[in-house]
Structure 1
Amino acid sequence: MFSQGQKIFALIFIVSFLVILTFQFLKDRKRNKTLFKGTYWVLIAIMALMLGYLLLTKLIH
């Protein structure tokens, strides 16, 4: 369904997106702590959804 290059691109994109998202979150959290209470749950949920989607697509195909 996907070529090897597309799979590699998707993997690199997802990993880099998560690294940048986490870095920006930690940087912004230092500036304003009151706005970021409990946001770890959102970050964990996003990561879990991405991981779940990846595992689900692996199991289906």
Structure 2
Amino acid sequence: MPVDEAAARAFAEIVADARRRGRRPRILDPLISATAASPGVAVYTQDADFDDMAGVAVVRV
């Protein structure tokens, strides 16, 4: 999936939200989340770091 302008905006929102809540997410987790969130695709993962990212549908596997 491409990292387009919508994904870049979603990335900024996800990171800003995490920082407001006192979290410092690793750089790739928000990038993966943003790339999925911009077209409305869920992230399928076992990684609990994705559970509290704003605006991202997460499916635990």
Larger radius of gyration: 1
The structure richer in helix per residue is 1
TM-score by length of 2: 0.34
**Which structure: greater strand fraction?**
2
- The one of the two structures with greater contact order (alpha-carbon pairs below 8 A, sep at least 6) is 2
